[in-house]
Amino acid sequence: MQAGRYFRPAISYAEGTQKVTDRYEQGGSALKQGFDRRPEVLAPAGDMEKLQAALLYGADAVYLGGRGFTMRSGAGNFDPQELKQAVELAHKAGVRVYFTCNTLPANQELAALPEQLEAAAAAGVDAFIAADLGVMMEARRVAPQVDLHVSTQAGVTNWLTARELYQLGARRVILARELDLDAIRCIRENTPPDLELEVFVHGAMCMSFSGRCLLSNYLLGRDANRGECAQPCRWKYALMEEKRPGEYFPVFEGEEGSYILNARDLCLIRHLDKLAAAGVSSFKIEGRSKSAYYAAVITNAYRAASELLNCPEGYVLPDWLEEETRKVSHREYCEGFLFGRPAQGQCLRSGGYLRAWEVAAVVTDWQDGLLHCSQRNRIQAGERLEALQPGGIPPVWVTAEDLRNGDGDPIPAAPHPTMDFTIRCPIPLAAGTLLRRPKEE
């Protein structure tokens, strides 16, 4: 992909709430002119650092939450002042902001709802994401100027529901993950053209009805509908007969038991053309509780892939873009229900993540052949690092030559988290470039 194919703000991600300028790279006007010909790439922004990563690496829109009524209480989220800063940051970069208020509130919580909606509207968010009918109607009353997106928590699985939600004021419906491609196409064909359809294309999935599983609440008193899920579906289970206490039997052949409820992660980057042809308006990436590195890498991959949808030769995904999805922490991938009931939708061998790569540093500047970096994991002088730049550019390898600390003194290693250092580098890498390496076994 040609460098500068999509615009990006001049921003160095991961250093708090750094100032963003409104300088755009070459190609910004072309993107804006062709915006309606390409589905939106919607990235998670769990906190300010993740927001900056998503903006720098090509998000068209981000979704984030406040300190209540959100399905990701474990993410950093945003208080009213932080939300105002986040919206200003995103809008300067030409990126929309969708505000999640997607829990199913209890009676005692409702008194705080209007204030949260009003604060988000005042901050300038572009849409509310809601699942509860009462929350949707309150949003329409409090801030009718803000678009309404119906959350996947609402379980939209058919065109009749989507059409009725449109009549109630919905601008967009986020379809249930349990739908296949034919069902998505049928909903598109039987709903108003200006009702947008959003579909999850990447990230974690629930083993049960999306977001409505009661297992965590039942076992631990931690309610998934309050963003507090402990993910007991990822635990290893065995069978015990009532009259044989203490005798545990694996659920399948093997001595290690089985993770019978453990869903794989979703990865649909190879099928964006099919989703676009089915009428999908927005490609949504799950992961507000995941790292800024994850937000950067996955947003970059899907944005670069989405730029290929209008190529004359058709949608041909380069190998390096699919490989990018494997350079973040993830469970085994699958295609979910896109082509019908999955033959194997669970990870039976392990409840953990695959973590084959790690971030070594983030580039802060390049001048006169010197790469200025902020350390994330220990770096040895002379080691090779892979550099991923913003802009849909294939990664390149660099060597940590002439490693020096922030004072310019030669050092054998950069051992301290966030310490500043420099290396010699003939390639002018952009600020925010990620330096990474395969993890040692």
pLDDT in tens, 95-114: 999 999 998 898 999 999 99
The mean pLDDT of 41-60, rounded to a whole number, is 97
CA distance 437 to 429: 17
**Plot region of 27 (φ>0 → left; ψ -120 to 50 → alpha; else → beta):** left
Q: Are 188 and 197 in contact (CB under 8 A)?
A: yes
Average pLDDT in the chain: 86
Q: Decide if pLDDT at 19 tops 50.
A: no
CA distance 411 to 414: 7
Q: Residue 353 has what pLDDT? A: 77
Q: Are 296 and 304 in contact (CB under 8 A)?
A: no
Q: Decide if pLDDT at 375 tops 90.
A: yes
Instruction: Kindly report the backbone phi and psi dihedral angles of residue 152, in degrees, each rounded to the nearest multiple of 5, phi listed first.
Output: -60, -20
SS3 52: helix
Q: Which of 20-34, 64-78, 232-246, 276-290 has the highest mean pLDDT?
A: 276-290
Q: Residue 23 has what pLDDT? A: 26
What letter would DSSP give residue 200? E
